[in-house]
A = this chain, B = another copy of it.
Amino acid sequence: MDTGDDELLDAAFMALADPVRRRIISRLSRGPATVNELAEPFAITKQAVSKHIQVLEQAQLVTRTRDAQRRPVHLNPARLEALTAWIDQYRLVREKQFRSLDAVLQSRAAARGTQAKDPS
């Protein structure tokens, strides 16, 4: 079991629980950006955005480098992979089970409603 990564998982999931931080991740997936650039589309102060980035940095979802007086923020895809790894670990177990017919029908019906990919 993943007893060691508990705090990192805590931090990562908590970090992604905020829509502002998720949009920051979305923005960073297209390349590094500074705090000011990241703060622009939001109606909050740069200090608030700076705190959001600190939260993402603590979760190791992003890293910061030095470039003159700017500090570009970079995405860290490895941490995102760690999250999908954790989720898949239980998602796949459940798919294999097929113990309750109700559960299967429910998950199939729900999968039709969302954009789930075919597991085959």
Chain A positions within 8 Å of B, measured between CB atoms, are 1, 3, 6, 9-10, 13-14, 16-19, 22-23, 25-26, 29-34, 37, 63, 65, 67, 70, 72, 74-88, 90-91, 93-95, 97, 99-100, 102-103, 106-108, 110-117, 119-120
A111–B31 contact, CB under 8 A?
yes
Copies of this chain, how many?
2
B17–A111 contact, CB under 8 A?
no
Nearest residue, chain B, Cβ from A107: B31
Give chain B residues whose Cβ lies under 8 Å from the Cβ of A108. 31-32
A9–B22 contact, CB under 8 A?
yes
Q: How far is the CA of A108 from the CA of B103 in the complex (A)?
A: 39
Q: How far is the CA of A113 from the CA of B38 in the complex (A)?
A: 15
Q: How far is the CA of A106 from the CA of B74 in the complex (A)?
A: 10
CB of A76, distance to nearest CB on chain B (Å): 7
Give chain B residues whose Cβ lies under 8 Å from the Cβ of A70. 111-112
Nearest residue, chain B, Cβ from A108: B32
Q: How far is the CA of A82 from the CA of B110 in the complex (A)?
A: 10
